Structure 1
């Protein structure tokens, strides 16, 4: 299937692109930057929680390689740390839009500089980010160069909510990337985030009580669809009764 703009796109200031292709970075560093672009500007925000493990899984490379190359990018001031990591959340990073501060010469003279808190990997919480976002209307196009504002759609907010609660319920980092399309499809079809969370809590508690373990979000899919269908049928019946009552009244 051919890539289409209507399926989502990422707005990147020309100045950033021009500075990047003039900067001496290796392939792994360039890919990490593209990954950061996707999960920040791709969701109309300037920074986000991005742990080394999450980046490594998304890119299909080793975590130690991400750690090494990402720290070089931070040392070169191409990537900016907005918030340090804690025991429950990854550090918040983004691209440094002040390209005059970039120093690519450091890559050949310094190794992977350790950033405070970098060694701490979060144990719980929503570290992962939602799947491809929606369309930004032309009238809402704005510059990422100066005061970029965090803007998320309701669907993305619902995804973040489900993702965070999945991490809480299962004591993990959040949804697996392989589960993102399923959750996104459910939300796009009108399934409420609260309904999804309620089903997860109920079925997970029952599974644990029976001595089992939930390995992926797909364990809940059928139950969520059934509950959503039942809720829709109930609403439909209520609508008919309301209409009859109005006619008879």
Structure 2
């Protein structure tokens, strides 16, 4: 049985996009590409990402030809924007165009129109079922339909929730308290540890420099690090140190899993704690003895106390 939980990660996206996208005549393949893009942008709280054909193939299980056709169509129709077209040695970087007014994909002519189950996912058009009702006039349908969508969205989103932000479907809530940026109190939905886990995984993908997918084990390792009390900032720094010190035995050998860095991160954390504890114990304390002299600099409070005790006993105190 699948164990699907929000705690394992989730993608924040504005409800408006989920409502509106259904009124455009996207093919099945195009939908799959958009899902993959949302997962790799909004799923990581970012607006753009590398989007190679091989990556899309791996997550959608579509043939290269189908992937290429769908991606080309989405770019030509302003649904996906090319931030960097890429080259032979560089992966294409893209972003999702949330401004659906700029999309040139066809819309359904009436709100009751539905795609047939036998839709050809390589074509740009869709057929509609016969509902037995007289279809409304096509004149003014697009403008009226769009206005209805916006009115419904406005009514449904008068009160902002923690999932819906001002931009790109990314939360505008304080990650610690769950309060909105404007200061309005809302129910806490996103917890700090989960946000930190996702950011740690994001940092791992960045320093790894190959592949955008993290495994379930990577998630568990990141969770272990964050829940042990190691700060996100330190974890990212120490992970980078481990990557920088890595010396592969041959060119094709590389770090693929976060687990490779976990031991080093915990070692550095323990080392930092011991150093801080040692610093607390070796803080220089000066004291006045019975002979009026002062304790030498560099003595710890514990050492000074032992000497005072010995002196007191020697004097019969």
TM-score (norm 2): 0.51
The answer for the alignment partner of 2:52 in structure 1 is 51
Residue of structure 1 aligned with 2:241, choices 185, 195, 198: 198
Task: Provide the C-alpha distance between the structure 2 equivalents of 1:95 and 1:208, rounded to a whole number of angstroms.
Answer: 40
More helix, by proportion? 1
Residue of structure 2 aligned with 1:184, choices 222, 234, 238: 222
Please report how far the alpha carbon of residue 182 of structure 1 lies from its aligned counterpart in structure 2 after TM superposition.
5.3
Please report how far the alpha carbon of residue 33 of structure 1 lies from its aligned counterpart in structure 2 after TM superposition.
0.8
Aligned 8 A contact 2:57 2:67 in 1: yes
For the structure 1 residues 144 and 164, does the alpha-carbon distance in structure 2 shift closer, same or farther, using more than 3 Å as the test? Answer: closer
The answer for the alignment partner of 1:126 in structure 2 is none
Q: Which runs of 5+ in 2 are unaligned?
A: 108-121, 126-159, 176-194, 286-299, 306-317
1:10 matched to 2:52? The reply is no
Q: How many residues align?
A: 213
Residue by residue over 1:75-120, the C-alpha shift from the partner in whole angstroms, topping out at 9 and shown as x without a partner, is: 222222233224554322222222223223597469xxxxxxxxxx
Task: Provide the C-alpha distance between the structure 2 equivalents of 1:4 and 1:97, rounded to a whole number of angstroms.
Answer: 24
Partner of 2:47, secondary structure, is coil
Aligned 8 A contact 1:13 1:143 in 2: no
Task: Provide the C-alpha distance between the structure 1 equivalents of 2:220 and 2:104, rounded to a whole number of angstroms.
Answer: 42
The answer for the alignment partner of 2:208 in structure 1 is 166
Over the residues paired in the alignment, what is the CA RMSD in angstroms? 4.3
Please report how far the alpha carbon of residue 158 of structure 1 lies from its aligned counterpart in structure 2 after TM superposition.
4.7
The answer for the alignment partner of 2:25 in structure 1 is 24
For the structure 1 residues 89 and 242, does the alpha-carbon distance in structure 2 shift closer, same or farther, using more than 3 Å as the test? Answer: farther
Q: Which runs of 5+ in 1 are unaligned?
A: 111-136, 168-172
Structure showing greater relative contact order (alpha-carbon pairs closer than 8 Å, 6 or more residues apart): 1
Aligned 8 A contact 2:13 2:168 in 1: no
